[in-house]
Amino acid sequence: MKTIAVLTSGGDAPGMNAAIRSVVRTACENNMRVLGIRRGFNGLMAGDMYEMNIRSVSDIIHRGGTILYSARSARFNSEEGLKDAIDVCKANSIEGIVVIGGDGSFRGARDLSLRGIPCVGVPGTIDNDIACSDYTIGYDTALNTIMDMVDRIRDTTESHDRCSVIEVMGRRAGYLALNSGIAVGATTILIPEVEFNVERDVIERMRRTQKTGKKHFIIMVAEGVAEAMNSQGICGVNELAKLIEARTGVETRATVLGHVQRGGSPSVKDRVAASQMGYAATLLLKEGKGNRVIAMRKEEIVDYDIYEALNMQKSVDLGLLKTALEISI
Ligand code: F6P
């Protein structure tokens, strides 16, 4: 390929800039022209792009967010949207695209590949919910951000003998809640992958630990459990906090960590993974290969067919949840 493009799509994640840097530099080193598309598939449909060179990506490896901006595009899912995107690729001689994002973005990459524009996906999302990959860019930084934030909340929770209910992101997955939950010593961790009962798994657990003299509590809740909580008559973490206070007598506050989890300078792990994945994706395009997704399996960088990748399943480590619950008493 002589000309490739790169875009970031979906929720931004720390490390996306390191991935862009890697794509651009690898392309330049391999004598390919590289275009940076702004605002994901929206920018592709609109032809919003610019030519990048090795210096366009200087001083970005440590920056959160994405210099190419990001978006979720509903229109791209339509035939008209795809047609516009393909016309733009043809007009700009784009022969392949590196798509950095989550599984929604990979579906877009698959649709483009199917219509003759080879794409390679790079997993970038704080949620770590890409089935084919053990790891997604941004996950480690988000975990560390959550841990730092909850450590702060813990200071005030402890000072007031309170309980703090903390909701973390993750969409329909519990990886962020589970791994940060064990790291902060949460009394209970509620994740969508594991059935729970608030009375048994929150209230009774707290009562049991109260008897051992514990006076402050962290309850970690994945945003993806909203439906399961609703079915138990609890609408959101504020209601959960009220219920805990009423049933245990422990003053309780709820905190929704929100978008603070998506920002910040990427960790070492995210910078390294992003650099490796961006490199591998660009080399695949150089070889003329498309319709692939880069993944990390047992610390190795591998790639899969997008169809295969989108049909894979991944599960949380139930042993980790068991460990967390057994030692957080
Ligand atoms: O996929 C990343 C993520 O941060 C999810 O954890 C969360 O559910 C969602 O994006 C939030 O999206 P938005 O920034 O569009 O509100």
- The whole-number pLDDT of residue 295 equals 98
Predicted confidence at residue 194, as pLDDT, reads 98
pLDDT tens per residue across span 182-196: 999 999 999 999 999
Nearest Cα neighbor of 174 from 196, 151, 200 is 196
Gap from CA of 214 to ligand 1 centroid (Å): 34
Residues of the chain with pLDDT under 70: none
Which residue has the least CA distance to atom 9 on ligand 1? 171
Atom of ligand 1 nearest to the CA of 170: 6
Q: Among 73, 103, 126, which is best to mutate for testing ligand 1, by the most ligand atoms less than 8 A from CB?
A: 126
Strands (E), the chain: 3-8, 33-37, 49-52, 96-101, 119-123, 163-168, 188-190, 217-222, 252-256, 292-297, 300-305
322 exposure class (CB count in 10 Å sphere: 0-12, 13-18, 19+): exposed
pLDDT value at residue 55:
98
Q: How far apart are CA 154 and CA 325, in angstroms?
A: 18
CA distances (Å), 267 to each of 62, 133, 143, 179, in order?
Answer: 8, 18, 10, 16
Q: Which two tokens stand for residue 201?
A: 């798994």
Domains 3-138+266-311 and 142-262 share a fold: yes
- Dump pLDDT digits (tens) for 44-86: 999 999 999 999 999 999 999 999 999 999 999 999 999 999 9
DSSP letter, residue 234: -
3-138+266-311: CATH number: 3.40.50.450
Give percent of the chain above pLDDT 70: 100
User: How many other CB atoms are there within 10 angstroms of residue 246's CB atom?
Assistant: 10
pLDDT for residue 198: 98
Closest CA to 302 of 277, 283, 327: 277
In this structure, the residue with its CA closest to atom 12 of ligand 1 is 11
Residues pairing with 8 in the sheet: 100
**What span, in angstroms and rounded, lies between the C-alpha atoms of 277 and 248?**
48
Residues within 6 Å of ligand 1 by CB? 11, 102, 125-127, 169-171, 223, 262
The residue among 8, 9, 17 whose CA lies nearest residue 274 is 17
Active site residues: 127
Which two structure tokens, joined as six digits, stand for 248? 């245990």
Q: Angle at Cα 205 formed by Cα 208 and Cα 323, nearest 5°?
A: 110
* Cα 95 to middle of ligand 1, angstroms: 30
d(CA 97, CA 6): 5
Strands in 163-168's sheet, in edge-to-edge order, are: 188-190, 217-222, 163-168, 252-256
Residue boundaries of the structural domains of the chain = 3-138+266-311, 142-262
Specify the CATH superfamily of domain 142-262: Phosphofructokinase domain (3.40.50.460)
Q: What is the pTM of this model?
A: 0.97
Adjacency order of strands within the sheet including 33-37:
49-52, 33-37, 3-8, 96-101, 119-123, 292-297, 300-305
